[in-house]
Amino acid sequence: MGRLQPTFDGETVIVTGSASGIGRAVARRFGDAGASVLVADIDEEPKDGDVPTAETIRDDGGTAEFVRTDVTDRSALTDLLEAAREYGGVDVMVNNAGLFVGGSVLDLTPEEFERIHAVNAKGIYFGVQAAANDMLDRDDPGVIVNTASISSNLAQFDQVQYDSTKGAVRMITRGSALELAEHGIRVNAVAPGQIATEFIEGWTEEATEKAASDDLVKPVPLGRAGTPQDVASAYLYLASENADYVTGELLHVDGGWQAF
């Protein structure tokens, strides 16, 4: 079976939330594809204690730099885009940083609500804004890829607060794509399903165990949880010339979970 291998030689890619999990896999894939990668995260160390992402990319022969970034701070995102100019300016902006806060709609506190929306919705919105403004300032339109979720379209138990942020990402993506199309900037999103990462503590084992059962409302048709590597290729596709006529799209990578 053939495999799509887009290249990003000479291009600069920012991936927020790329110290661990899906973001780490995405950053490494872009590094392998020849891009200069800015690893943007609030912490440099991966959650699994492995070698930091930027260092791993460099060890593999690529170009990468860690930029400490709090996506809830609009000025930090502006500084991040400025850092990318040292590499020629951002060509691909991946707004991936996110967090999970679970619990019943009856119990969520205002502080928890503000925290999850600040990262998952505000961080995406102003990441899109900062990248688009920088591309327009340089007269060099690029591509923006956001991280959505199956929760962008489908509700799950005890996840109202999380689902609402990912629903927001869906509309931020579509609305931005509509507005920025005239400037040649494409905006899309990847919507992962049940992915075995440390996004939620202990989730690697739990997701793998539950993927083929009905404990997650319904089983995953392909019979297993996904991995960050399963998801990463979708980002490269949407960022590449292969997707030149794709904008405003949510590309689901969920093992068929949404199909029934």
Q: What is the pLDDT of residue 79?
A: 98
User: 187 lies in a domain?
Assistant: yes
Catalytic residue among 125, 162, 237, 245: 162
Whether pLDDT at 215 is above 50:
yes
Is residue 125 annotated as part of the catalytic site, yes or no? no
- Give me the mean pLDDT over the 51-61 stretch: 97
Structure tokens at 218: 């319904």
Whether pLDDT at 104 is above 80:
yes
What percent of the chain stands above pLDDT 70?
A: 91
Q: What is the pLDDT of residue 4?
A: 75
Q: How many CB atoms lie within 10 A of CB 214?
A: 8
DSSP the chain: --------TT-EEEEET-SSHHHHHHHHHHHHTT-EEEEEES-SS-TT----HHHHHHHTT-EEEEEE--TT-HHHHHHHHHHHGGGTS-SEEEE---------TTT--HHHHHHHHIIIIIHHHHHHHHHHHHHHHTT---EEEEE--GGGTS--TT-HHHHHHHHHHHHHHHHHHHHHGGGT-EEEEEEE-SB-SSSSTTHHHHHHHHTTSSTTSS--TTSS-B-HHHHHHHHHHHHSGGGTT--S-EEEESTTGGG-
Q: How many residues does the chain have?
A: 260
User: 34 lies in a domain?
Assistant: yes
User: 22 lies in a domain?
Assistant: yes
What CATH number has the domain bearing residue 156? 3.40.50.720
Q: Per-residue pLDDT tens for 172-212?
A: 999 999 999 999 999 999 999 988 875 444 444 554 555 55
Domain count, the chain: 1
Domain that holds residue 127: 12-194+228-253
Least confident residue range of 16-30, 85-99, 148-162, 179-193? 148-162
User: 222 lies in a domain?
Assistant: no
Mean pLDDT of the chain: 91
Q: What is the pTM (predicted TM-score) of this model?
A: 0.92
User: 214 lies in a domain?
Assistant: no
User: 220 lies in a domain?
Assistant: no
User: 212 lies in a domain?
Assistant: no
Band (pLDDT 50/70/90 cuts) for residue 219 is confident
Q: What is the pLDDT of residue 77?
A: 98
User: 215 lies in a domain?
Assistant: no
Whether pLDDT at 216 is above 70:
no
Q: What is the pLDDT of residue 154?
A: 82
